[in-house]
Structure 1
Amino acid sequence: MAQSIEPNIADLANGWLKSYKLAYKLEQESLNSEIDKALDDYYSKNGGIGGNRPDAKLLLQDKNLDYYPILIEYKGYKGKLEKLDANKQVENKTAKNEPHLKNINSFAVNGAVHYANALLHHTSYTDIIAIGMTGYKDENSGKIRHEIGVYFVSKNNYGIGQKVGDFSDFSFLKKENFDAFIEKVKMLNLPQEELDRLKEQREKEIDASLVKLNNDIYQNEKGLGENDRVYLVAASIIATIGIPNQVPSLDKSELKSQEFIGGRDGDILINRITAFLNKKELPQDKKELIIRTLSNTLLTENINKVENGESQLKRVFTKIVDDLGIYYKIGLTTDFTGKLFNEMYGWLGFSQDKLNDVVLTPSYVATLLVKLARVNKDSYVWDFATGSAGLLVAAMNEMLNDAKNTITSPEQLSQKEIKIKAEQLLGLELLSSVYMLAILNMILMGDGSSNILNKDSLSDFDGKYGFGKTEETFPADAFVLNPPYSASGNGMNFVERALNMMNKGYAAIIIQNSAGSGKAKEYNKRILEKHTLIASIKMPIDLFIGKSSVQTNVYVFKVNEKHHKDEMVKFIDFSNDGYTRTNRKKASNNLKDSDRAKERYEEVVNLVRFGKSKLNIFTCKEYYEGTINPKNGADWNQTAPIDTKPTLADFKKTVSDYLAWEVSNILKGRGDLGK
């Protein structure tokens, strides 16, 4: 094998940096303590912990005074610049979602992108430039031939990395060229489909990391109840998010595992969380509730007891930050705590019935409900059984996307985004452990947590804002819900209450389908006296696989318009939604798009809104329009009538089948005769 010429490549490239008068640092040198520590804490290229050392590194500032870490990795072989996967992405993960150590080790760009992810995971930097360079000696001329790969790694591209362009040297880093280079970087917008694909990929990684974390805590950390685990994760995340220039992110080295009151690891965590909540300007009573709830776990004697120089709290905090840090740092707009919550609940020894009550809506179903309720940037959305706030997160994402697509002034857009988060979402959740998750989820999503209320939506809620405009009624015009099915009428009591507090708009709920066939008859009749049932959608039986096996339907309503007996209701059989689900503990992915799932979800939304002209994948077997009797209340789950009258084609097929059977019998007989 040819000898590596890495020293020559390093010499050439570092010579350029020197000639541009840039303050670069070599492998062993320190850039700044935050970056050094992140590289040391991240798993190494060989799979162990720490010891990540880029060959060269810089910290450059653009004209807006934003800092960009530049991480450079050199190799000295032909063809060792980058290893991409089938989607032309830097391939740093295996099919099992584990680090692809061989690629990270062998290819210059893959190594540099790996270092950049260490910074996303463990520092406050969100935009990083990763550079790989390799080369070889030309056999004929003896000259060095080199190639350079320049990638932008940021929280906006989920840390995957995007190629910036083709470069033959490092002069784009020169002071006079750097602003233009950064402008180019900012124009690197991934198309929406690509972002969706990357988001999906990252979500699978989150699932794998959550399972690993939970297994670890469950097996190795004794004495922690399920609520303790939930609160520990919530507390660790809030303490490490930090607020730029105001509340620094808590680093694991700050937990000193002391045993005196005030200096325990639990005290340090609570102090940081308090500072965070103070800056977030949450209402006082909400702030006190969060701190009180978390203190009950964080300040217990056992968790702060020091053994071998370390408290259990520090150990668990370290695991959480190391396993999950990157996912909440890069601000995934996913129901992160929903996944967390489902994973935690998977470990509980609840009976099946109890479990059914805390089953969370998968994120793609949450998005379906939001679209069916016609949510846009001007909607006011509420949810009367919030759970981990997955439905509100989906609504918030839909509203923010609509705002981005329709508002062209950056100033107006930023005002609108603040308004959406602060004023246009409201959720109610009675269970305090679940309520904590809802708040955490909304804080992670950019803080729409102000109007998530720890109240009973049936008896304790008057329709007013919980914070800010507490004297004003929340002007809800979109309602989304996945109720606890053990509630009265399978949860139709929540629907009746919410719809009757609204003046206009639409509602989409997912509920056990017996609610539409008799279990909630009285509620349904009362609902139809004031509101219209637009659609009834039968969902796949295995939608909540592993959590419960109830048949669910989605019902869509138009608010404040009495149901007329001649009103056409759209009945859709969505049993085949295009996804294949499995429930294997060790599977890397229990949800596979096996038959145009995304297109099917889109078609259902269009069918409900525009009718049968939108039939494409589905046929009249799955889509049927019919009437219901508003005074019945148990006829909401209809299917397309099957035509039993035989046609001429049926007759011909029967005759040909019979003749084929006759002929095969005769031939068989002949065979027997010859024996």
Structure 2
Amino acid sequence: MKDWNLEDNVNDWVKSEFARIKQNNYTVESAMSDFLKDAIQKGVILKRLALEEAGETEKGKSWKPDFHLEIFADRKIPVLIENKLGINKLSATNGDKIKNDIKSVKNFAVNGAIHYAQCAIMSKKYTEAIAIGIAGNNANNVTIKVYYVFGATDETYKLIDTYTSLDFLESKKSFAEFYKAATLTEDEKHKILIDSQAKLQEYAKKLNKLMNNHAITAPQRVLYVSGMLLAMQDIADIKNGLTPDDLRGINLDNQRDGDTIVTQIENYLKLKEIPLDKLNLMMASFKEINKDTDRDKKTDLDPIIGKLLPDLASVNKQIFTYIYENIFLSIDSMSGHLDIMGEMYSEFLKYALGDGKEIGIVLTPPYVTKMMTQILEVDENSKVMDLATGSAGFLISSMEMMIEYAEKKYGKNTTKAIDKIKEIKKNQLLGVELNAEMFTLASTNMILRGDGSSNIRKGSSFNEPADLYREFNADKLLLNPPFSFKENGMPFILFGLENMKIGGKAAIIIQDSAGNGRGVESCKAILAKNQLLASIKMPIDLFIPMAGVQTSIYVIEHTGKSHDYKKQVKFIDFRNDGYKRTKRSLIELDNSMQRYNDIVEIYKNGVTADVSPTLWNLKQTIVMSVISKNGNDWNFDHYQKIDTKPTIKDFKKTIGDYLAWEVSNLLRQKNEDKSFVAALEKERIAELKLCFSAPNLKNYILTGEEKRVFEMFEKGEVKFEEFEIQKLFDVSPSKAYKMNDRNILIENGKTPYVSNQSQNNGYIGWSNLEPLNPSNVITLSDTWQSERTIFYQPTEFIGKSHLQVLKAYDKNFQKFELFFAISSFRKAILELNYDYGTKFNRDKIKITKIQLPAINNEIDFALMRALISAIQKLVIKDIVLFANKKIDSPR
């Protein structure tokens, strides 16, 4: 078959395909409706691609796709088709991303189609579109790629690779089937949420540095962002939102860049019909933007701005431009549950002098707020209240969930759905926030979502008029109260439950200590008129780096009557959510997206939940138990059954770690022996024999008694009993010199200097000062790292702060017996999960129970000594065998 030589040949082929499927409602180029044309043109301008620079001028073409259909889903899901001659012109990619530079958009079918779709979405006239790229050499060699586009960034389009023809455009029914396959799964939505959060944090980090470079204080930074984002919004049909080109650096009163921004914000809020008292409060915050006229003077461009501006510009314009290009243009592409202002605020605090902890502000991650709305089964008819609103993260997640249900029920963009969404935004969300800065963030967040912040109130939840709550009549309550408040914030949920309808449900994420005794007064009051349904233990590092606290989610139903103490409460262990959090990033380790979907299912159905057995052991994850009237037993830890008996593996680790440290210590002592060092450098592993004085394996044959004890232990025939640490050991802080480390440490000292670190047997160096603490003791940290900091100290030493010393009362506790106790101690506290916020202090160390071999409360020291001796021989034997194998084999 003869190859095509014109792009019109591809267009003719597409027309023939439309004829084949009997679809006559398509349009070409200039026949596009004014609505779609305006949307694409506005999007082009927003993306800063000038028509004369990027458009096709040949053959009378302008910046329009080759074909378009506007007949599906009441014209709210446009289908945009771009054709190119030649299979090699189908798409240009960078990895798995579709390139979006001008050249690629202009010359490749898929790139152009996705660009048109994203421009339409960026105009805010559409929320989704279908992009189709078609390229071919002849009628027998044509390739079609179909994408579902739901935003304007690299992360917001999805290849629907099961569709390789245009048949799905045959009818509204066939398109509806396609749409089901195209829309996002829960896992995809979760991934977009996490990706959006990561990208926003990246932008926020650079923006934070930019503002820091220009001496904008931490409290001002978040107000700059929220205010400038509002200034970028269109003011109804009266005036377009500001763009960087509107800031001209004019040095005249009321015309400076800051003045222009503040005036736009005020006009926008007035037309939004924000109540006057609220408007005045917000404007008082936003006037920080034009407070310093020096920031309106033209100056050199900061390197962070790069090529976004051509020449000199005011500080306000530079910041505005960065926000416009990197945040404003991406807002509609970010996951709906993302608390944009909260994420910015959190990032700014990481680099500020204050971190929000002083006032208890720790913002809940968006994937957790989403999970909590799902647990409460928020739907389109819910009335959701948050009495410690913060930056409105819970209200944002609730609103997204409510809209999703409305669109499922009535259909996307139908009149009923549109009316219901207006009702949701206007009358079904209530937030109260005392902190002025957070109130402004929450209001901005909701305005950016189209809510108008109509029901975000500034004030104390406890002092608002009773009529407010009675008229709102909430049936859902979501909370993350300030943990610096009394009882960790439990009075907030008590007050909220008292002011919601009977049958309503509440979920609060709060420090564990609130349900473990610190919030006992409120807990008892809650149990008087409500039912505790569930307690979900959350990851220990959930709020890192903002705070190191242990938290749980309590789910409560407002019944109006006392908790039924015969009914079991569901205690769920969600400490492993598949993520690891660091100061810099959120790292997925193990099926985190699936785990967040599963936890809702586990909450609903308990041990019968349909979840993967490879991810969950439901018998260990869920404990069903009744609670007491005491109000101090609301946490999973209270009911968790832990086997704290040490295992052979535990003993081997304790001994192996100690022997490894002994080797390094021996090498240090021999560091002046040049022949030894030379031999070590030649073959380090070979010197293990020298280190352990172990020329023959026969030294490691177990005695009869050692073998008997070892076999008894393996068969589970050893009887254990529990002993409190304080009954066995004196627990005291280590004795230390009141001196700086530099005055204590010396390179070739003889006295160990021991700290609370988790490596090198706790040693941080050496000193020639007199030791202050005895030998043959156990040391450990009194912070959250405790199980990794328990060490045996064979010699006298100098201590450091946060180090506790355990000295045995019974002289039978020598080296091997203490190795046994250390292994048991580590096992006992490994599952307790103390953190920096709830430290493993001396009082908690004292009451910790460890298991030791004993009969009638008499410790069997001989058994402990024989078992540890046997295990040490086995460990050394393994090392020597490994060394021999390593020596005998070539490198």
Range moving further from structure 2, 431-440 or 609-618: 609-618
Which residue of structure 1 lines up, in the alignment, with residue 489 of structure 2?
A: 491
The whole-number CA distance in structure 2 between the counterparts of 1:182 and 1:9 is 34
Any conservation in 2 of the 1:389–1:438 contact (CA below 8 Å)?
yes
Which residue of structure 2 lines up, in the alignment, with residue 434 of structure 1?
A: 438
Cα distance change of structure 1 residues 231 and 609 upon mapping to structure 2, 3 Å threshold: same
The whole-number CA distance in structure 1 between the counterparts of 2:15 and 2:605 is 64
The whole-number CA distance in structure 2 between the counterparts of 1:548 and 1:219 is 25
Secondary structure in structure 1 of the residue aligned to 2:198: helix
Amino acid corresponding to residue 417 of structure 1 in structure 2: I
Any conservation in 1 of the 2:378–2:402 contact (CA below 8 Å)?
yes
Any conservation in 1 of the 2:148–2:182 contact (CA below 8 Å)?
no
The whole-number CA distance in structure 2 between the counterparts of 1:38 and 1:605 is 38
Which residue of structure 1 lines up, in the alignment, with residue 358 of structure 2?
A: 354
Any conservation in 2 of the 1:545–1:581 contact (CA below 8 Å)?
no
Secondary structure in structure 1 of the residue aligned to 2:97: coil
Shift of 1:342: 2.1
| Cα deviation 1:580-610 (Å, max 9, x = unaligned) | 223153x5xx141613x44444444344444
1:626 aligns with 2:632: no
Cα distance change of structure 1 residues 80 and 195 upon mapping to structure 2, 3 Å threshold: farther
The whole-number CA distance in structure 2 between the counterparts of 1:120 and 1:415 is 21
Please point out which of 211, 216, 223 is paired with 2:215.
Answer: 223
Cα distance change of structure 1 residues 549 and 561 upon mapping to structure 2, 3 Å threshold: same
Please point out which of 600, 609, 621 is paired with 1:605.
Answer: 600
The whole-number CA distance in structure 1 between the counterparts of 2:136 and 2:631 is 74
| Cα deviation 1:458-512 (Å, max 9, x = unaligned) | 3x2124449xxxxx63202211111111100001121222122234211111101
1:160 aligns with 2:161: no
The whole-number CA distance in structure 2 between the counterparts of 1:183 and 1:261 is 60
1:338 aligns with 2:330: no
Shift of 1:118: 5.5
Cα distance change of structure 1 residues 352 and 549 upon mapping to structure 2, 3 Å threshold: farther
The whole-number CA distance in structure 2 between the counterparts of 1:310 and 1:379 is 48
Cα distance change of structure 1 residues 257 and 338 upon mapping to structure 2, 3 Å threshold: same
The whole-number CA distance in structure 2 between the counterparts of 1:645 and 1:300 is 66
Amino acid corresponding to residue 363 of structure 1 in structure 2: P
**1:528-607 correspondence runs (5 A):** 528-559=527-558, 560-577=560-577, 579-583=578-582, 585=584, 590-592=586-588, 594-595=590-591, 597-607=592-602
The whole-number CA distance in structure 2 between the counterparts of 1:532 and 1:181 is 48
Any conservation in 2 of the 1:58–1:71 contact (CA below 8 Å)?
no
**1:341-490 correspondence runs (5 A):** 341-350=345-354, 353-354=357-358, 357-407=360-410, 410-447=414-451, 449-458=453-462, 460-465=463-468, 473-490=471-488
Range moving further from structure 2, 103-112 or 247-256: 103-112
Secondary structure in structure 2 of the residue aligned to 1:58: coil
When the two structures are superposed, what TM-score results if normalisation uses the length of structure 1? 0.77
The whole-number CA distance in structure 2 between the counterparts of 1:32 and 1:371 is 39
Cα distance change of structure 1 residues 629 and 113 upon mapping to structure 2, 3 Å threshold: same
Which residue of structure 2 lines up, in the alignment, with residue 291 of structure 1?
A: 283
Any conservation in 1 of the 2:200–2:343 contact (CA below 8 Å)?
no
The whole-number CA distance in structure 1 between the counterparts of 2:579 and 2:56 is 42
Cα distance change of structure 1 residues 433 and 163 upon mapping to structure 2, 3 Å threshold: same
The whole-number CA distance in structure 1 between the counterparts of 2:606 and 2:130 is 49
Secondary structure in structure 2 of the residue aligned to 1:241: coil
Range moving further from structure 2, 519-528 or 384-393: 519-528
Cα distance change of structure 1 residues 41 and 367 upon mapping to structure 2, 3 Å threshold: closer
Secondary structure in structure 2 of the residue aligned to 1:267: helix
Please point out which of 494, 498, 501 is paired with 1:500.
Answer: 498
Please point out which of 239, 242, 247 is paired with 2:234.
Answer: 242
Shift of 1:282: 2.2
**Consecutive unaligned residues in structure 2, runs of 5 or more:** 17-25, 300-310, 647-710, 719-866, 882-891
Shift of 1:641: 3.3
When the two structures are superposed, what TM-score results if normalisation uses the length of structure 2? 0.60
| Cα deviation 1:319-372 (Å, max 9, x = unaligned) | 1111113322447412222322222222222258428x2221111211222233
The whole-number CA distance in structure 2 between the counterparts of 1:615 and 1:329 is 34
Bigger CA radius of gyration: 2
Shift of 1:541: 0.4
Secondary structure in structure 1 of the residue aligned to 2:327: helix
Range moving further from structure 2, 126-135 or 613-622: 126-135
| Cα deviation 1:629-653 (Å, max 9, x = unaligned) | 21x222222223357999xxx9896
Secondary structure in structure 1 of the residue aligned to 2:534: strand
Shift of 1:406: 3.6
Which residue of structure 1 lines up, in the alignment, with residue 521 of structure 2?
A: 522
Which residue of structure 2 lines up, in the alignment, with residue 214 of structure 1?
A: 205
The whole-number CA distance in structure 2 between the counterparts of 1:254 and 1:454 is 32
How many residue pairs get matched?
615
Any conservation in 1 of the 2:227–2:265 contact (CA below 8 Å)?
yes
**Consecutive unaligned residues in structure 1, runs of 5 or more:** 26-30, 45-49, 94-98, 467-471
Cα distance change of structure 1 residues 569 and 102 upon mapping to structure 2, 3 Å threshold: farther
Please point out which of 683, 695, 715 is paired with 1:654.
Answer: 715
Amino acid corresponding to residue 561 of structure 1 in structure 2: K
Which residue of structure 2 lines up, in the alignment, with residue 200 of structure 1?
A: 191
Range moving further from structure 2, 497-506 or 314-323: 497-506
Amino acid corresponding to residue 438 of structure 1 in structure 2: A
1:271 aligns with 2:270: no
**RMSD between aligned alpha carbons?**
4.6
Q: Which has the higher contact order (CA 8 A, sep 6+)?
A: 1
